[in-house]
Structure 1
Amino acid sequence: MKSETMGYRIHKRRKELKLSQVSLSKAVGVSNVAISQWERDETSPRGDALLNLAEALQCSAEYLVNGGDVDHNIEFRKERTQKGMYPVISWVSAGQWSEAIEAYPIMAVDRWYGTTEECHASSFWLDVKGDSMTSPVGLSIPEGMAILVDPEAAPDNGKLVVAKLVNDNEATFKKLVIDSGRRFLKPLNPQYPMIEINGNCQIIGVVVDAKITNLP
C-alpha cells in the first residue's frame, strides 16, 4: 500500500473526482506542472493555493495536510474564515531565513496550522519557548502557544517580531521598541532586560497571529 503522503492524498482525491491535472490546475489557479509536483511530493501547496486546492477537491485543507477520514473533513472555504495553512518550523530554521533560498525543506514539515489573519505566502509558525514573553499583566504569550510570523510585514515600532542577533544561531521573539532612532528588543516579561539592536540584529518577520497549542 502506498504511503499516505500529502501528494498521495491529492492524487487520490483528484482521481476520485475524475479530474485531470489540467482541469484541477485551472480550478486552483496554478499550472498543471505544479499539480504534478504536488502529487509527486516534490513541492507542497501553501497559503491560498492550499485552500483553493482543498475547495477544488471537495475536502478540507487539514485532510490534505494531515490525512484522516475525508468524509469527516469536508469544509468549503466559503463556509469558514480561515485564510490559509502555514508550516510550523524550528527556531534554528527561522534564524537561517535569509541565508538560504529555502530555509527549511518542505518535506520535513510535519505540522501546519491555519489562521484567520491576512498574511503573505512565506509566513510560518513557531512554537513559543521559555518565559521571556510571559507577562504578569496585559499581553502575554507564554510557552505552549504558537506564533505566526510574516517575513514580509513591516516591522513598525511596538510590533511583536522574530529577530536574529548576529552571534546567535536561533531566532528570538520580542517586542520591537524604537526610541529616538535607537532600536530595542523588549521582552514582555519584566524580569528580562531589553536588548539594543542597532546594527547587530536582523528582523526575520512580524508576528501576526498567535494560538494556544500545548499549554501546560
Structure 2
Amino acid sequence: MKIGNSIRSARKAKGMTLEQLAHEVGTDAGNLSRFERGLQGASHDVLEKLMVVLNIELSSDQIADSNVSEPLPVKGQVPLISWVQAGCWSEVSDLYAVGDAELWLPCPVAHGPRTFALRVRGLSMYNPTERFSFKDGDIIFVDPDRPAIHKSLIVAKLTDTQEATFKQLIIEDSQRFLMALNPGWPDRIIRINGDAEICGVAIAKHEPLI
C-alpha cells in the first residue's frame, strides 16, 4: 500500500479529520491532504510524528516511495465538486477529503485554503456582450473566505434548497439582491434577506485551450 493510503486509512480508523491530524504533527491540512494523495512529500520530522500519533509502522519501501525529501510542486490544487456539495460546503469538517470530487484542479490565482471549483449549470450567467460571461459547463473557482461585496460574483444557497446558485450580488443600502448576468433570464433579480447563505466568491474561471 502506498504511504499516503496508509496514512489516510490509519487517520480514518482513529476518527481524526485532516485538520486534527495536521495540528498534531505540526503541518496544515492542505499539505497533509496532498501527501495522502501522493501529490506531495513530507519532511522526515512530520513523517515520524505521523507514525507516533497514528501508532503505525511504515516499511522502508513505503518511505522510499514517499518522496519525503522533495515535495512536488502542486500547491494550489482544489477539488471540483458538485452543486449539492457547494450548498453545504460550510458544514463540511474534512474539507480536503472530498472522496467524490470529479478531479483536482490548480487554481490560477491566490486563494484561501477552502477554495473549490464548480462547473456552471445553465445559462443564467451567460452574457457574451459583457466583461464576465459564463456558459453551461464552464468551471469557476470559488473562495468561501473572500468577503462578498457589491457586484461580487457569488455562489449562494437559499434556505429552501440544499443546492447552490451562481449569481451576481447587488447591494443597495441595506438590501441585497441576486442578479443573473443574462439580460433575458426570467426572474433575473431576486431579493434576499436572511434566507440566503453565501457559500463563496468566484475568483477565477478555468478556460482550457485544448
Mapping for residues 122-141 of structure 1, pairs under 5 Å: 122-138=114-130, 139-141=132-134
Q: 1:33 aligns with which of 44, 50, 69?
A: 50
Structure 1 gap ranges (5+):
38-52, 62-82
Q: In the aligned structure 2, how far is the partner of 1:185 from the partner of 1:148?
A: 19
The question of 1:196 aligning with 2:191 is answered yes
RMSD: 3.7
Q: How many residues are treated as equivalent by the alignment? A: 168
Q: Does the aligned pair in 2 maintain the 1:135–1:189 contact within 8 Å?
A: yes
Q: 1:170 aligns with which of 155, 163, 166?
A: 163
Q: In the aligned structure 2, how far is the partner of 1:146 from the partner of 1:54?
A: 32
Shift of 1:57: 3.0
Shift in alpha-carbon separation, 1:104–1:117, aligned structure 2, 3 A: closer
The question of 1:57 aligning with 2:70 is answered yes
Mapping for residues 1-216 of structure 1, pairs under 5 Å: 7=5, 22-23=43-44, 25=46, 32-33=49-50, 56-57=69-70, 59-61=72-74, 84-102=76-94, 105-138=97-130, 139-192=132-185, 193-212=188-207
1:116-167 per-residue CA deviation (whole Å, 9 max, x = no partner) reads 3111111111011110111031110112211111111100111100000111
SS at match of 1:108: coil
Shift in alpha-carbon separation, 1:59–1:103, aligned structure 2, 3 A: closer
Shift of 1:56: 5.0
SS at match of 2:89: coil
Which letter does structure 1 place at the counterpart of 2:70?
Answer: L
Q: Does the aligned pair in 1 maintain the 2:43–2:69 contact within 8 Å?
A: no
Q: In the aligned structure 2, how far is the partner of 1:214 from the partner of 1:143?
A: 17
Structure 2 gap ranges (5+):
7-33, 55-65
TM-score, normalised via structure 2 length: 0.66
TM-score, normalised via structure 1 length: 0.64
Which letter does structure 2 place at the counterpart of 1:23?
Answer: H
Q: Does the aligned pair in 2 maintain the 1:91–1:170 contact within 8 Å?
A: yes
